[in-house]
């Protein structure tokens, strides 16, 4: 799904957030195991006689990695995931650019990687639409591109896309809330969304609304759009609390703005509803673990996708498929699942939480 934000058209302050969250407003789920095979030789069938990616060193692969400037927790986690995954492989060299929120600068960085003749490129574009041409340029130069999260305008600009599921975030948040409130007559929910000019925000809201349709006892009574910042989360949540003296559940699209939302909730002395977040921030995981406040769950948008992108790039560079799948080639696209994390499974996800 496209997360292209047209960030270059925004003012600098908004464009920074816009492109971040055009990329994603954040999270964490299962890593694609593009690199492990536990089958014994005699278990292999004829269909599995294709070269599966695995941990054993193979042909050396130089991977060029280009993302936006890491000026936000989720993007820092993207870079960290890519770098630590690459270090796992003795047959991978990672050429990582500084990253930039300026599309022209990022295009220049990617062109430098193309000129260095890297074997594979992994690109999280600052603006998917604006960087489509440089993706096409790499593909035409014979360098396969793994397009990370914010999607290029043309499928010809990448060999594989891997990213999060914004609609799925909303759907899973709505289903979690629906199940918690299904026995309550005339239940009311409110929504604290992200930047409304982003397609991803619309997708999250649509998923949420579609889930709530399965629960006729629940009505959404208010929605405010914040800006994925702590400050905006606090200000907009304060407005919601003032306007809605009584409701049963809140879905907040992003754990960063959730820090501010939780401040506003505390200041108002409210604890009469449950809250579901979105992202997979460490602060949210820690709150779930303590289980002494309104936050009861968060739905993920996994920065582990960058580690999986390195796995896919390595498999591409070595001409291998994905372990556990019968095909000779890696898939053309992989949409990650937005898992729901609550106090019962938070320990499992704690290592993936980002600051």
pLDDT at 239: 98
Consecutive H or E run containing 317:
helix 305-317
pLDDT at 314: 97
Q: In what side-by-side order are the strands of the sheet with 160-163?
A: 92-96, 61-66, 120-123, 145-148, 160-163, 333-335
pLDDT at 5: 31
pLDDT at 155: 97
C-alpha distance across the termini of the chain, in Å: 26
Residue 34 CB neighbour total at 10 angstroms: 28
Beta-bridged to residue 91, according to DSSP, are none
pLDDT at 19: 35
CA distance 298 to 285: 8
- β 340-342/295-300 pair status: antiparallel
Q: How does pLDDT run along the chain (355 residues), one tens digit per residue?
A: 333 333 333 333 333 333 333 333 333 333 343 343 344 444 444 344 445 567 789 999 999 999 988 877 788 899 999 999 999 999 999 999 999 989 999 999 999 999 999 999 999 998 899 999 999 999 999 999 999 999 999 999 999 999 999 999 999 999 999 999 999 999 999 999 999 988 899 999 999 999 999 999 999 999 999 999 999 999 999 999 999 999 999 999 999 999 999 999 999 999 999 999 999 999 999 999 999 999 999 999 999 999 999 999 999 999 999 988 999 999 999 999 999 999 999 999 999 999 8
pLDDT at 51: 58
pLDDT at 197: 87
In degrees and rounded to multiples of 5, residue 185 shows phi and psi of -70, 145
pLDDT at 11: 32
pLDDT at 292: 95
Which domains can be identified in the chain, with CATH numbers? 7-164+303-336 (3.40.50.2300), 166-300 (3.40.50.2300)
CA distance 303 to 279: 9
pLDDT at 70: 83
Select from 243, 268, 264, 242 the least CA-distant residue to 252: 264
pLDDT at 45: 40
Express each pLDDT in 224-266 by its tens digit: 999 999 999 999 999 999 999 999 999 999 999 999 999 999 9
CB of 81 within 8 A of CB of 303?
yes
pLDDT at 210: 98
CA distance 81 to 207: 28
Residue 81 token pair = 């995931």
Nearest-10 crossing angle of helices 73-87, 12-23? 50
Cα dihedral across residues 6, 7, 8, 10: positive or negative: positive
- CA 51 to chain CA centroid, Å, is 29
DSSP string computed for 22-86: HH-S----PPP-TT-----GGG--GGG-S-B--SS--S-EEEEEE-----SHHHHHHHHHHHHHH
Q: In what side-by-side order are the strands of the sheet with 187-193?
A: 218-225, 187-193, 249-252, 274-279, 295-300, 340-342
């Amino acid at each position: 799904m496209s997360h292209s934000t047209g960030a270059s058209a925004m003012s600098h302050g908004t464009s920074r957030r816009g492109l971040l969250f055009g990329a994603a407003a954040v999270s964490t789920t299962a890593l694609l195991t593009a690199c492990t095979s536990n089958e014994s030789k005699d278990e292999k069938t004829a269909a599995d006689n294709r070269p599966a990616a695995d941990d054993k060193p193979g042909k050396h692969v130089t991977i060029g990695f280009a993302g936006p400037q890491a000026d936000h927790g989720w993007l820092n986690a993207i870079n960290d995931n890519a770098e630590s995954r690459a270090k796992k492989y003795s047959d991978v060299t990672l050429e990582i650019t500084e990253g930039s929120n300026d599309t022209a600068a990022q295009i220049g960085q990617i062109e430098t990687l193309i000129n260095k003749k890297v074997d594979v490129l992994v690109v999280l574009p600052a603006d998917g639409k604006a960087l489509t041409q440089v993706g096409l340029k790499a593909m035409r130069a014979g360098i396969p591109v793994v397009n990370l999260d914010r999607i290029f305008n043309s499928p010809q600009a990448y060999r594989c896309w891997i990213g999060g599921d914004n609609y799925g975030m909303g759907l899973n948040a709505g289903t979690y809330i629906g199940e918690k409130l299904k026995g309550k007559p005339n239940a009311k929910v409110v929504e604290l969304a992200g930047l409304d000019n982003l397609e991803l925000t619309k997708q999250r809201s649509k998923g949420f609304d579609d889930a709530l349709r399965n629960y006729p006892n629940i009505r959404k009574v208010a929605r405010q759009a914040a800006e994925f910042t702590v400050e905006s989360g606090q200000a907009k949540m304060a407005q919601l609390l003032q306007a809605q003296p009584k409701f049963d559940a809140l879905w907040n699209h992003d754990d960063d703005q959730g820090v501010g939302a939780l401040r506003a909730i505390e200041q108002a002395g409210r604890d009469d509803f449950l809250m579901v977040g979105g992202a997979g921030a460490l602060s949210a995981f820690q709150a779930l673990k303590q289980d002494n406040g309104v936050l009861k769950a968060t739905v993920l948008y996994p920065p582990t996708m960058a580690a999986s992108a390195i796995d896919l790039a390595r498999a591409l560079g070595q001409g291998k498929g994905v372990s556990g799948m019968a095909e000779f080639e890696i898939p053309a696209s992989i949409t990650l699942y937005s898992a729901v994390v609550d106090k019962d499974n938070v320990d499992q996800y704690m290592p993936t939480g980002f600051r």
